[in-house]
Amino acid sequence: MNELGAESADLNAASVLVHARRMAPHDAIVTTEAGVYGRVGLYAWQVYEPGTYFDSSGANTMGYSIPAAVAASLVRPAQKTVCLVGDGGFLMRAGELETVARLKLAPVIVIFDDGTLGMIRLKQRSKEYTRAGVDLEQTDFVRLTESFGGVGWKVETLEQFDHAFATALGSDRLHVIDVRVDADVYASHIKPIRGI
C-alpha cells in the first residue's frame, strides 16, 4: 500500500481511502465501480463484515456505485453507506441525487475528481494512442449537491477530507465530497496494480 501512496500526507486515492476506512464504522457499506480509485480500493478498503463491499469489477462498469448506494441505504438504513465514484461515473448518475433527496437518504458520496476518464486515458497512453474523448469539463459538485438539499464539500488536503468525511458520517443528510486529485499522480497508482 505504501507503493500506492497510502501513508502519504498528500491527498491521493490511496491516502483518502485509507483515511476513510479508518474513520468509517466496521459495518459501513461501501459501493464502488470502475476507475483508478476503484482498483486502489480493492487494496485499501479492508472489509470487516460480510455483505458490506459492493464493486462492479465483474463487468467493470461505470455508473454502478451511486444506484448501488441508493439501494444499500434503503435496504440497510441503520448502516452508513459510503459511495466511491469517479467524476465521470458521478456525472452518469447525478440524477440519482433527486432519488436520494426525495427518499431522505444519507449516503456519503466521495468523488475522485481528476477531470478525466482516468482508466481510459491510461489505456490510451499505454497503447500510444492519441488522447481523445477523455477530458471532462469541471463541474461544481458542491452547488449541484446543494441544489438537491445535500451538503457539498470540495477538498484539496487530507485534513479537509478528514473533516468533511467525519461530519458526513455523523449526519442524517446526503453529503458529497469532491476530492480533487491530480490526474498524473492518480494514474501512477494503477501501475503497481495493473502494470499500465
pLDDT digits (tens, 9 = 90+) for 85-97: 998 889 989 999 9
Query: What is the model's pLDDT at position 2?
Result: 47
Alpha carbon 112 to chain centroid, angstroms: 5
Q: Which domain holds residue 47?
A: 2-194
What is the tens place of the pLDDT at every residue in 104-120?
999 999 999 886 766 66
Query: What is the model's pLDDT at position 121?
Result: 64
Q: Scanning the structure block, which residue is given the C-alpha cell 481523445? A: 132
Query: What is the model's pLDDT at position 1?
Result: 45
In the sheet where 175-180 sits, what is the strand order? 53-55, 29-32, 81-86, 108-113, 175-180, 151-155
Show the low-confidence residues of the chain (pLDDT under 70).
1-9, 36-37, 115, 117-124, 126-127, 132-134, 136, 183-196
Determine if the pTM surpasses 0.85. Answer: yes
In Å, how far are 48, 83, 134 from 137, measured between CA atoms? 37, 22, 10
Query: What is the model's pLDDT at position 72?
Result: 98
Mean pLDDT, rounded, of the chain: 85
**In this structure, are residues 5 and 14 in contact, taking their beta carbons and an 8 Å threshold?**
yes
Strand intervals (E) in the chain? 29-32, 53-55, 81-86, 108-113, 151-155, 175-180
Coil vs helix vs strand at 176: strand
Number of separate domains in the chain: 1
Q: Which residue, 124, 120, 64, is CA-closest to 89?
A: 64
Residues contacting residue 53 through CB under 8 Å, at least 6 positions apart: 29, 30, 32, 45, 47
**In this structure, are residues 31 and 5 in contact, taking their beta carbons and an 8 Å threshold?**
no
| Rounded-to-integer distance, Cα 156 and Cα 164, Å | 11
CATH of the domain at 80: 3.40.50.970
Cell of 69: 448506494
